């Protein structure tokens, strides 16, 4: 059995950076508080005897957030041999606040005093031996960026694990609290392992729900404890929880005052403060914010990204697709297999991969904004608006990315700490019209509203409106009800982004999407192609005789009240599940026009058969809201981490789509239907 | 007075952190405890949340949360 070393520390203390250096794996590096939500593991470089586990970034071991609970459970039940506590030297008190709690678990703690380079640059000093003495833990000074001290860190860690050296000194609380703790200790000391006794005692005193459940105290003991706590609370006129927190910080203030010298007085401005004065200035903040967002959008979606799309389409269509087709035909492959590979899989995967450049550029800027510290300010600036409809300031980024593609947008929601906000954001982001829906709108606008450019733009308005209304309504439901999550968020100092971290981060996210395109999308494309080109007896047939057409005929009546009850349109909605832009292609195929673009004049003329202007608009609305494409559903599943929530999202979206389209069509026909 | 009422640029001392449960604990965990000094840095462009300096770092919180923190100048 290898020994386990747990890596714990505040968000932004440099935990991930240190983890990467220790284990040699490439991990995500961000500057957004609370980004590390998953548990990551890796062996010490070249040493299979020691596993390092990267715990979520946390500020405390309270029972209130998922990250904290995950960490607590791991420390108590996973029984790591050592905790390496990464401490941000430029933020000593708040970081050591966690340290004192880690020490109480009875596990040996080694402190990595990180960001020493910044500390030195600021001209501050820490007397490390003194600090180490006061805390009872060895301290190694490190800088994850210049790799200073990391060798020492590993050596000391391995040494401590081998010798199973004892734990640090626990924080001392005020006399009345200590007295109460001693009494509680006597009541529970038979119930818990001796080295965790201090931790359990304090948790019981704080009346920590989870620990109380775990200990399952007898009524008599519980009552005795309650009396002890009550008398202290009364005499000190404060709740037990805040007594502990206060005393803990007081204890730390005493320690840091002795060994931490700051060059800068409280209240004077650092460079970071000066940048912030401009960036979040009352008058400049919003213009700067919109300029940045527009710039990112313009570069990623419009100019550079769009350029790449052309290349990729050419690459998959003209180069790969055409040549493979020729090659397969040359070696005598049957026509249907060529069709399956070229028109099914390659075209399907290709159409999804066309978004990769846009996404990569978006992810690059996103990572840049996170790493330099701007992202937290985005949340700061936008919180006021988004909170109004049940989302948080951090929901803005996913929504913005959603105008390009829902997949990266849904993935970007990971930066939202609160689970409820995150779920709601994942659910509502697909309402923002993505790039793939635009050809559908363009086709129908071209056919029915050739002189009204605003019809296409109205989709954005309708989408945003739907997000707002859904937010307000969903907030009233049981699943999303409750007090708003606290928005007590650290605003990390600005710093120059580090390209290595930014690129790793970008690649990390982009990779997942490409993988998905290669797996789910490939299979789904193949399946839909088979359905649309073979009959029930698996003969190669035209689309109107295919399995898909018969399914289309079966479900078409569902869409009759929405104004588009033909099997062709029903089929298009099904293929739309694969990727929204295939809706246009499907019209082309079922109309016997082959693979045509949305501007094709014959196509424009022919879709007229399926719709009138009102049902065309109703169909646009349906496409806007209905369950997103397979890739986005996959991303939803990933971020929701639950099949139940994924289905809830799909049903909700489709429900909204159906209802909205129904209202549009029925009301529209009532008002304007006579002339049609 | 509570922290939500303090003006930007003002330095105040925390007297008591009210409220309960997760929010109160979070506020205190972040270092806003009795007796510590807090500087109100600014108010977000749309009037909420606010940004403060506490224990040498920047923290943002909503006015509704700040109103649970009793302070004196
Ligand atoms: N100058 C300097 N920067 C550092 C050091 N360690 C980390 N950083 C930077 O600090 C930022 C945060 O580092 P991360 O490694 O993502 O921090 P983390 O603790 O894992 O943060 P979460 O993922 O949010 O939990 C990144 O921009 C790093 O490049 C250091 O020793 N010196």
User: What would the mean pLDDT of A511-536 be, rounded to a whole number?
Assistant: 75
* Distance separating alpha carbons of residues A548 and A567, to the nearest angstrom: 9
Residues of A in contact with B20 (CB under 8 A): 239
For residue A35, what pLDDT is reported? 36
Please state which architecture CATH assigns to domain A175-261. Orthogonal Bundle (1.10)
Å from A456 to nearest chain B CA?
30
CA–centroid distance, residue A508 to ligand 1 (Å): 17
* Distance separating alpha carbons of residues A141 and A113, to the nearest angstrom: 5
pLDDT tens by residue, A49-106: 888 988 888 999 998 877 788 888 889 888 899 999 999 999 999 999 999 999 999 9
For residue B32, what pLDDT is reported? 95
Q: Exposed, middle or buried by CB within 10 Å (0-12, 13-18, 19+), for A227?
A: exposed
Q: Is A87 in the pocket of ligand 1 (CB under 6 A)?
A: no
Residue A131 has pLDDT above 90, yes or no: yes
Question: How far from A537 is each of A509, A554, B5, CA to CA, in Å?
Answer: 42, 18, 75
What are the start and end residues of each CATH 3.40.50.300 domain in chain A?
3-163
Most B CBs within 10 Å, among A245, A277, A396, to test the B interface: A245
pLDDT tens by residue, A421-469: 889 999 999 999 887 888 888 888 888 888 877 888 888 899 999 999 9
Q: Does the CA dihedral A457-A459-A463-A468 come out positive or negative?
A: positive
For residue A504, what pLDDT is reported? 78
Å from B54 to nearest chain A CA?
9
End-to-end CA, chain B: 9
pLDDT tens by residue, A623-639: 999 988 888 888 888 78
For residue A29, what pLDDT is reported? 42
Contacts of A373 (CB under 8 A, 6+ apart): A31, A272, A491, A492, A493, A494, A495
Nearest of A488, A34, A483 to residue B63 by alpha carbon? A488
Residue A32 has pLDDT above 70, yes or no: no
For residue A443, what pLDDT is reported? 84
CA dihedral A203, A207, A208, A210 (to 10 degrees): 110
Confidence tier at A27 by pLDDT (50, 70, 90): low
* Distance separating alpha carbons of residues A370 and A386, to the nearest angstrom: 19
User: Which residue, chain included where needed, has tokens 């081998």?
Assistant: A162
For residue A18, what pLDDT is reported? 92
Under an 8 Å CB criterion, which residues of B touch A? 11, 16-17, 20-31, 33-37, 39, 41-49, 51, 53, 55-62, 65
Q: Whose CA is nearest to atom 8 of ligand 1?
A: A14
User: What would the mean pLDDT of A289-303 be, rounded to a whole number?
Assistant: 79
Cross-chain Cβ contact B60/A241 below 8 Å = no
Alpha helices in A7-90 (DSSP H): 15-23, 66-77
Selecting from B20, B21, B31 the residue whose C-beta is nearest the C-beta of A94 gives B31
ipTM, two decimals: 0.96
In chain B, the number of structural domains is 1
Q: Is A33 in the pocket of ligand 1 (CB under 6 A)?
A: yes
Confidence tier at A186 by pLDDT (50, 70, 90): very high
pLDDT tens by residue, A578-599: 778 778 777 877 776 666 666 6
* Distance separating alpha carbons of residues A143 and A260, to the nearest angstrom: 18
Confidence tier at A544 by pLDDT (50, 70, 90): confident
For residue A233, what pLDDT is reported? 93
Name the E strands within chain B.
Answer: 11-17, 37-43, 50-54, 57-61, 69-72
Task: Assess A174–B contact: CB distance below 8 Å, yes or no.
Answer: no
**Taking the CB of residue A47, how many other CB atoms lie within 10 A of it?**
15
pLDDT tens by residue, B45-69: 888 899 999 998 999 999 989 999 9
Residues 61-80 in A contacting B (C-alpha not used; CB under 8 Å): 62, 64-65
Cross-chain Cβ contact A384/B49 below 8 Å = yes
**Taking the CB of residue A326, how many other CB atoms lie within 10 A of it?**
11
For residue A28, what pLDDT is reported? 46
User: What would the mean pLDDT of A642-658 be, rounded to a whole number?
Assistant: 93
CA–centroid distance, residue A613 to ligand 1 (Å): 55
Total-model pTM: 0.82
Cross-chain Cβ contact A242/B33 below 8 Å = yes
pLDDT tens by residue, A200-250: 999 999 999 889 998 888 899 999 999 999 999 999 988 999 999 999 999
Residue A510 has pLDDT above 80, yes or no: no
Residues of B in contact with A250 (CB under 8 A): 33, 35
State which H helix or E strand residue A4 sits in.
strand A3-9
For residue A33, what pLDDT is reported? 39
Cross-chain Cβ contact B65/A487 below 8 Å = yes
Selecting from B44, B56, B58 the residue whose C-beta is nearest the C-beta of A384 gives B44
For residue A74, what pLDDT is reported? 87
DSSP classification of residue B2: B
For residue A301, what pLDDT is reported? 66
With beta carbons less than 8 A apart as the criterion, state whether A603 and A583 touch.
no
Nearest of A131, A153, A126 to residue A17 by alpha carbon? A153
Bridge partner list, A141:
A113
* Distance separating alpha carbons of residues A256 and A26, to the nearest angstrom: 35
Please give the residue range of the domain that contains residue B48.
3-72
Q: Which of A193-207, A261-275, A317-331, A524-538 has the highest mean predicted lDDT (pLDDT)? A: A193-207
Nearest of A30, A68, A76 to residue A195 by alpha carbon? A76
Task: Assess A266–B contact: CB distance below 8 Å, yes or no.
Answer: yes
User: What would the mean pLDDT of A379-384 be, rounded to a whole number?
Assistant: 88
What are the start and end residues of each CATH 1.10.287.1770 domain in chain A?
175-261
Classify domain A3-163 by CATH number.
Answer: 3.40.50.300
Q: Is A353 in the pocket of ligand 1 (CB under 6 A)?
A: no
CATH code of the domain in which B50 resides: 2.30.30.90
For residue A221, what pLDDT is reported? 92
Cross-chain Cβ contact B57/A59 below 8 Å = no
Atom of ligand 1 nearest to the CA of A498: 29
Cross-chain Cβ contact B45/A249 below 8 Å = no
With beta carbons less than 8 A apart as the criterion, state whether A144 and A117 touch.
no
* Distance separating alpha carbons of residues A668 and A664, to the nearest angstrom: 6
User: What would the mean pLDDT of A515-523 be, rounded to a whole number?
Assistant: 71
Residues of B in contact with A68 (CB under 8 A): none
User: Which residue, chain included where needed, has tokens 């940004």?
Assistant: B51
* Distance separating alpha carbons of residues A8 and A21, to the nearest angstrom: 15
């Amino acid at each position: 059995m290898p020994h386990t070393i747990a890596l714990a520390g505040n968000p932004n203390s440099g935990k991930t950076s240190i983890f990467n250096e220790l284990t040699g794996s490439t991990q995500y590096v961000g500057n957004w508080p609370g980004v590390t939500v998953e548990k990551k593991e890796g062996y010490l470089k070249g040493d299979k005897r020691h596993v390092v586990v990267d715990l979520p970034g946390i500020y405390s071991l309270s029972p209130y957030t998922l990250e904290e609970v995950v960490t607590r459970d791991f420390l108590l039940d996973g029984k790591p041999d050592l905790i390496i506590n990464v401490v941000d030297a430029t933020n000593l008190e708040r970081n050591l606040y966690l340290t004192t709690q880690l020490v109480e678990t009875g596990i040996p703690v080694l402190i990595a005093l990180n960001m020493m380079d910044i500390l030195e640059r600021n001209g501050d000093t820490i007397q490390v031996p003194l600090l180490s003495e006061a805390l009872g833990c060895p301290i190694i000074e490190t800088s994850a960026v210049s790799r200073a001290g990391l060798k020492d860190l590993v050596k000391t860690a391995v040494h401590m694990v081998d010798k199973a050296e004892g734990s640090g000194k626990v924080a001392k609380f005020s006399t009345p609290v200590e007295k109460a703790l001693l009494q509680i200790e006597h009541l529970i000391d038979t119930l818990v392992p001796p080295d965790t006794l201090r931790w359990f005692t304090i948790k019981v005193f704080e009346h920590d729900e989870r620990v109380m459940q775990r200990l399952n105290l007898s009524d008599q003991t519980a009552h005795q404890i309650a009396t002890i706590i009550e008398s202290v609370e009364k005499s000190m006129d404060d709740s037990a929880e805040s007594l502990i927190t206060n005393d803990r910080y007081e204890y730390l203030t005493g320690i840091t005052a002795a060994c931490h010298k700051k060059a800068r007085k409280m209240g004077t401005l650092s460079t970071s403060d000066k940048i912030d004065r401009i960036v979040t200035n009352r008058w400049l903040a919003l213009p700067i914010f919109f300029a940045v967002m527009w710039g990112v959008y313009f570069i990623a979606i419009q100019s550079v990204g769009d350029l790449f799309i052309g290349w990729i389409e050419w690459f998959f269509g003209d180069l790969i697709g055409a040549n493979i087709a020729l090659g397969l035909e040359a070696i005598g492959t049957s026509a249907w297999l060529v069709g399956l590979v070229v028109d099914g899989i390659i075209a399907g995967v290709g159409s999804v991969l066309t978004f990769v450049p846009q996404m990569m550029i978006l992810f690059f800027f996103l990572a840049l904004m996170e790493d330099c510290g701007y992202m937290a300010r985005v949340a700061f600036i936008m919180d006021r608006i988004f909170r109004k409809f049940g989302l948080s300031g951090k929901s803005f980024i996913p929504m913005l990315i959603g105008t390009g593609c829902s997949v990266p947008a849904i993935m970007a929601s990971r930066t939202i700490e609160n689970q409820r906000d995150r779920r709601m954001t994942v659910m509502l982001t697909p309402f923002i019209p993505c790039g793939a829906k635009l050809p559908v709108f363009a086709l129908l606008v071209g056919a029915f509203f050739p002189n009204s450019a605003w019809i296409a733009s109205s989709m954005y308005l309708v989408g945003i409106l739907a997000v707002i209304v859904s937010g307000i309504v969903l907030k009233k439901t049981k699943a999303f009800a409750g007090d708003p999550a606290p928005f007590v968020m650290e605003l990390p100092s600005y710093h120059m982004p580090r390209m290595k971290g930014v690129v790793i981060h970008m690649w990390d996210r982009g990779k997942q999407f490409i993988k998905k395109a290669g797996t789910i999308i490939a299979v789904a494309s193949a399946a839909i192609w088979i359905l649309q080109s073979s009959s029930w007896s698996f003969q190669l047939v035209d689309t109107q005789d295919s399995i898909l057409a018969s399914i289309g005929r079966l479900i078409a009546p569902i869409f009759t009240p929405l104004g588009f009850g033909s099997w062709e349109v029903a089929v298009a909605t099904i293929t739309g599940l694969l990727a929204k832009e295939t809706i246009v292609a499907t019209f082309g195929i079922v109309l016997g026009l082959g693979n045509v673009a949305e501007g094709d004049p014959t196509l424009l003329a022919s879709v007229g058969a399926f719709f009138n202007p009102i049902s065309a608009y109703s169909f646009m609305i349906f496409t806007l809201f209905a369950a997103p494409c397979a890739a986005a559903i996959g991303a939803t599943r990933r971020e929701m981490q639950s099949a139940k929530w994924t289905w809830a999202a799909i049903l909700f979206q489709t429900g909204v789509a159906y209802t909205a389209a129904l209202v549009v069509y029925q009301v529209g026909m009532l008002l304007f239907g006579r002339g049609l | 007075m509570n922290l939500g009422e303090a003006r930007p640029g003002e330095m105040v001392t925390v007297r008591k952190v009210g409220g309960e449960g997760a929010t109160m604990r979070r506020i205190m965990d972040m270092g806003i405890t009795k007796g510590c000094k807090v500087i109100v840095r600014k108010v977000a462009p749309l009037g909420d949340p606010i940004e403060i300096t506490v224990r040498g770092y920047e923290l943002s919180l909503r006015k509704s949360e700040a109103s649970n923190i009793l302070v004196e100048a």
